[in-house]
Amino acid sequence: MVSGKRPVGDRSGFALSVLKEEGFKYVSMFPADAVPSYVYDKDKNCFPNLPFNFVLDDAMYFHFGIFSSQTPGSALNPRIRFTISGSLFSDSYIRLDHI
């Protein structure tokens, strides 16, 4: 809890029943699609899935060698990571005509 508030969304893939018990409101399990969707489990737990975008996702920089990566992101200098992330966000924001 870095912000002092409990998270309300999750990308972990935990069982929806566990997330419901813990008070989560949404999941973000699948990449960007045309529209958000709903995720159901066998017990009829339902959560909105807010899709993530690979361009803005930082997992590729901080996955610590998941998927047999030869270059784990944990070695990336935080200043370089911030510069890359800021550039990607700015470019996406401008291209989407939000400025």
Residue 65 is assigned to a structural domain of this protein: yes
- Confirm whether 54 is domain-assigned: no
- Please count the structural domains in the chain: 2
Residue 72 belongs to domain spanning: 59-95
Q: Which long-range contacts (CB under 8 A, 24 or more apart) does 50-53 make?
A: 50/9, 50/26, 52/11, 52/28, 53/92
**Does residue 3 form part of some domain?**
no
List pLDDT tens digits, range 19-70: 999 999 999 888 776 678 898 999 989 999 888 877 667 666 665 555 555 5
pTM of this prediction? 0.56
Per the domain annotation, does 19 fall within a domain? yes
Residues 65 and 33 in one domain: no
Whether 13 and 39 share a structural domain: yes
Mean pLDDT of 4-22: 90
Handedness of CA 70, 90, 87, 4 (dihedral sign): negative
